[in-house]
Amino acid sequence: MKQLVFATNNAHKLSEVRAITDGYFAILSLDDIGCHDDIPETADTLEGNALQKARYIAERYHVNCFADDTGLEVEALGGQPGVHTARYAYPDRHDPEANTRKLLDELKGQTNRHAAFRTVIALILDGKEYTFEGRVDGTIPLQPTGTEGFGYDPVFAPDETGITFASMGVEAKNRISHRARAVQALCRFLMKADEQKG
Element (H, E) at 158: strand 157-158
User: Minimum Å distance from CB 178 to ligand IMP?
Assistant: 7
Binding ligand IMP by CB under 6 A: which of 26, 86, 170, 187? 86
Sheet with strand 128-139: strands edge to edge:
25-28, 2-6, 65-74, 114-125, 128-139, 157-158
As a whole number of Å, the end-to-end CA separation of the chain is 13
Catalytic residue among 69, 92, 105, 153: 69
Catalytic residue flag (residue 31): no
* 73 scored as a contact of ligand IMP (CB under 6 A): no
Cβ contact 101:60 at 8 Å: no
Cβ contact 142:104 at 8 Å: yes
Binding ligand IMP by CB under 6 A: which of 152, 167, 182, 186? 152
If the CB atoms of residues 48 and 96 are measured against ligand IMP, the closer one turns out to be: 96
Residues near ligand IMP (CB under 6 A) are 69-70, 85-86, 94, 96, 149-153, 165, 177
| Residues with a known catalytic role | 69
